[in-house]
Amino acid sequence: MGRDVPGGPSPSLGANVPLSAPSSGRLSRMAHAASLRALAAQGISFLALAFLLRFMPWPMPPHGAAWLDGLVAASLVFAWRLPFWWWVISLLFPPLVAAAAAWHVRSAWFGGLFLVSLLLYWSAWRGQIPLFLSSRRVCRLLKAQLPKDQALAFADLGSGLGGVLLGMARLVPDGAYTGVENAPLLYAASRLRLALQGARSCRVLRQSFWAHRLTDYDVVYAYLSPVPMKALWEKACAEMRPGTLFVSNSFAVPDAEWSLRVPILDWTGSVLYLYRIATRH
Ligand SMILES: C[S@@+](CC[C@H](N)C(=O)[O-])C[C@H]1O[C@@H](n2cnc3c(N)ncnc32)[C@H](O)[C@@H]1O
């Protein structure tokens, strides 16, 4: 493995050694299987409850039935050893549906909420990459790892609200900053934010980062999820120039050796993994 740095600058970074890695496709399939199981648990518990209510000699109040429905679904999810948040979702989903029906919540609200979630999360379902934002310290730590007195071409893959681009542009004014974001609402919000702040050295592209070539960047930053890391690393190795930096916030590339690991020392307790792109043979 490479060097650990206690949140400070590093004098030099060693070469990385990409090794064979477990399939990120498998991780993605596992995540999909979890959501399908949670859905199956809801279906089974609903059918079981409908059967029970049909033959029960006394009536059950709707909210009681909804909680029982949720309890059965959550028990199934627990028995299938799905992650903790699936128990919570499975338990609360039927009572929330019952409450919405009891309060006569207009269906337009659900449609509206669905649309906003779609524009916000876009490919989160397929790509297994949710939205969360880098903390402010990240830019300062990144700056400490950059070569001094050199114009910088920097990309944030999945740039969210553009905070990393703005932070880097403030700290290293002599640079060009590109965000690549495919969620329409985030793209629009970050364009507006950059325009309002007059950040001329920053741009955001509405594109999937898989379709964006990394050839021109000195530093590529990603804060995504464990799922795409192996494939993204392969893309970085194929497209980035030798000696340039690939940085992942929190999610290490499976079985590849980082050049440097820098703790962010914020409330998330996360870590930056820095990989120096090796010379191609
Ligand atoms: C964890 S957030 C990171 C946001 C930002 N980079 C930061 O550090 O504050 C991941 C972002 O990647 C975006 N994203 C996910 N898949 C993407 C893809 N294939 N192409 C472009 N952006 C993507 C999501 O919409 C989300 O905004």
Please report, in tens digits, the pLDDT of each residue of the chain (281 residues total): 567 766 544 433 433 333 333 344 554 555 567 788 999 999 999 999 999 888 888 888 888 999 999 999 999 999 998 888 889 999 999 999 899 888 888 888 888 888 888 887 777 666 667 778 998 899 999 999 887 777 899 999 999 999 999 999 999 999 999 999 999 999 999 999 999 999 999 999 999 999 999 999 999 999 998 889 999 999 999 999 999 999 999 999 998 999 999 999 887 778 999 999 998 66
Q: Which residue among 84, 107, 127 closes a domain? A: 127
| Pocket residue to mutate for ligand 1, from 119, 120, 123, 166, most atoms within 8 A of Cβ | 123
Closest Cα to residue 11, out of 220, 273, 259? Answer: 259
Could you tell me if 267 and 143 lie in one domain?
A: yes
Asked whether residue 212 is assigned to any structural domain, the reply reads yes
pTM here?
A: 0.74
Asked if residue 240 and residue 221 are part of one domain, the reply reads yes
Domain span at residue 35 reads 26-127
Ligand 1 pocket, mutate which of 119, 128, 129, 213 (most atoms under 8 A from CB): 129
Residue 281 included in any domain: no
Please give the Cα distance from 225 to 181 (Å, whole number). 15
* Judgement on whether residues 194 and 227 belong to the same structural domain of the protein: yes
Q: Are residues 90 and 145 in the same domain?
A: no
Ligand 1 binding pocket mutation candidate from 117, 132, 154, 182 (most atoms within 8 A of CB)? 182
Residues 202 and 121 in one domain: no
How many domains, in total, are found in the chain? 2
Write out the two tokens for 90. Answer: 């499975």
In a domain, 103, yes or no: yes
User: Residues 237, 258: one domain?
Assistant: yes
Residue nearest to atom 23 of ligand 1 (CA): 158
Residues 138 and 7 in one domain: yes
Cβ-based neighbours of 94, under 8 Å, separated by 6 or more? 42, 45, 46, 66, 67, 69, 70, 73
139 and 43 within one domain: no
Q: Which atom of ligand 1 is nearest to the CA of 156?
A: 6
220 CA from centroid of ligand 1 (Å):
13
Residues enclosing ligand 1, CB less than 6 A? 122-123, 127, 129, 131-134, 156, 158-160, 163-164, 180-183, 186, 208-210, 223-224
Domain membership flag for residue 206: yes
SS3 assignment, position 6: coil
Same domain? 33 vs 10: no
